[in-house]
Amino acid sequence: MNSVLSLSHIKKSYGSVQALRDVSFSVPEGSVFGVLGPNGSGKTTLLSIILDVLKANQGSFLWFGQPGSPAQRRRIGSLLETPNFYHYLSAVDNLRVTQAISGRGTRADIDLVLKKVNLYERRNSRFKSYSLGMKQRLAIAAALLGDPRVLVLDEPTNGLDPVGIAEIRALILELKKTGHTIIMASHLLDEVEKVCTHVAILKTGKVITTGEVNEIMQDEDVVEASASDLDRLVTVLGTFGTGALIDPATQTVRLALPKGTANLEEVNRRCFQEGLVLTHLLLKKKRLETRFFELTED
């Protein structure tokens, strides 16, 4: 798979504070790539560098295999800060202003991007009448002017209510389907897990791990089982490995095993031999939230 962005040994300091420490990773074409980390981990600094808002102290990056340039920059749509539109203007007029200033796209693109973000029916409404989710979708519409191949979004769901978050999530997934590569910074682990195909996890400016989301979460097999006698089930599952525990919330027993070693058929057979009839048996992947806290030791 081709890379749309490659970073090599990026370093950035603000005086004695090291914001980024030797950051290297690649973003595959067609992916939704999450740059994940707690506040202060260097996410916004990293996005600012790849968008030429800030200069790195050391290191380099390539867009589409070439050094960054104004021509390359026009192939990238971005949303780095809170949407900044005129409250008394309509969506159409605000995008006309954005298009005139940026020089990206044409007047004809405005209707197209408003349809993409599901705001066409409200195109003549004033910006101040929009919900927070609609305002964020209009900001993404502005980033889509000129039909860029790549979108760079900094915390696209920040400050939104659950409805607004769901709207942006659905929009990101739809944009991926239409061939866009999306790079998004976020500290919301649940949202990253739901929309991202790949991720780089930062901690205090360092890349802790990077790769496909499923691979990062699947560092071990988690067997989840249930029976009428949970205490006895803990004892039986304990013969496969240490650490079988009851989850009171789900009334199941969970057992973590080295990746690739879980054999559900054997688990079921052993339980049956011990007189336990399983009512539930599943091989689960670890949630990104759990894996994140393990990796960051937080």
Give residue 39's pLDDT.
81
**pLDDT band with cut points at 50, 70 and 90 for residue 285:** low
Give residue 219's pLDDT.
60
Burial, 87: exposed, middle or buried (Cβ in 10 Å; 0-12, 13-18, 19+)?
Answer: exposed
Fold (CATH) for 218-296: Alpha-Beta Plaits (3.30.70)
Residue 22 bridge partners (DSSP)? none
> Would you state the structure tokens that stand for residue 284, as one six-digit string?
């689960």
Give residue 128's pLDDT.
94
How much is the average pLDDT of 269-290? 82
Report the alpha-carbon distance of residue 191 to residue 196 in Å, rounded.
8
Give residue 283's pLDDT.
83
Give residue 215's pLDDT.
75
Report the alpha-carbon distance of residue 216 to residue 199 in Å, rounded.
8
Give residue 218's pLDDT.
61
Report the alpha-carbon distance of residue 20 to residue 67 in Å, rounded.
20
Give residue 122's pLDDT.
95
With contact defined as beta carbons under 8 Å apart, do 33 and 184 qualify?
Answer: yes
Beta carbons within 10 angstroms of residue 82's beta carbon:
12
Give residue 280's pLDDT.
92
Question: Which of 21-25, 225-229, 237-241 is predicted least confidently?
Answer: 237-241
Give residue 286's pLDDT.
61
List, edge to edge, every strand of the sheet that includes 198-203: 76-79, 150-154, 181-186, 32-36, 198-203, 206-212
* C-alpha separations of 5 from 27, 47, 146 in Å: 5, 12, 19
Q: Which has more pLDDT, 122 or 80?
A: 122
Rounded to two decimals, what is the model's pTM?
A: 0.76
How much is the average pLDDT of 177-189? 89
Cα dihedral 93/98/104/106 (nearest 10): 10
Question: Quick check: 287 pLDDT over 70?
Answer: no
Question: Quick check: 1 pLDDT over 70?
Answer: no
Question: Quick check: 298 pLDDT over 70?
Answer: no
pLDDT tens-digit profile of 208-221?
889 888 777 666 77
In percent, how much of the chain has pLDDT > 90? 53
CATH architecture, domain 3-216: 3-Layer(aba) Sandwich (3.40)
By residue count, the chain amounts to 298
Per DSSP, the three-state class of 90 is strand
Count CA within 13 A, CB hemisphere, residue 80.
15
Give residue 297's pLDDT.
67
pLDDT tens-digit profile of 93-146?
999 999 888 888 888 899 999 999 999 999 999 999 999 889 999 999 999 998
Q: What is the DSSP letter of 217?
A: H
Same fold, 3-216 and 218-296: no
Segments making up each domain of the chain, as ranges: 3-216, 218-296
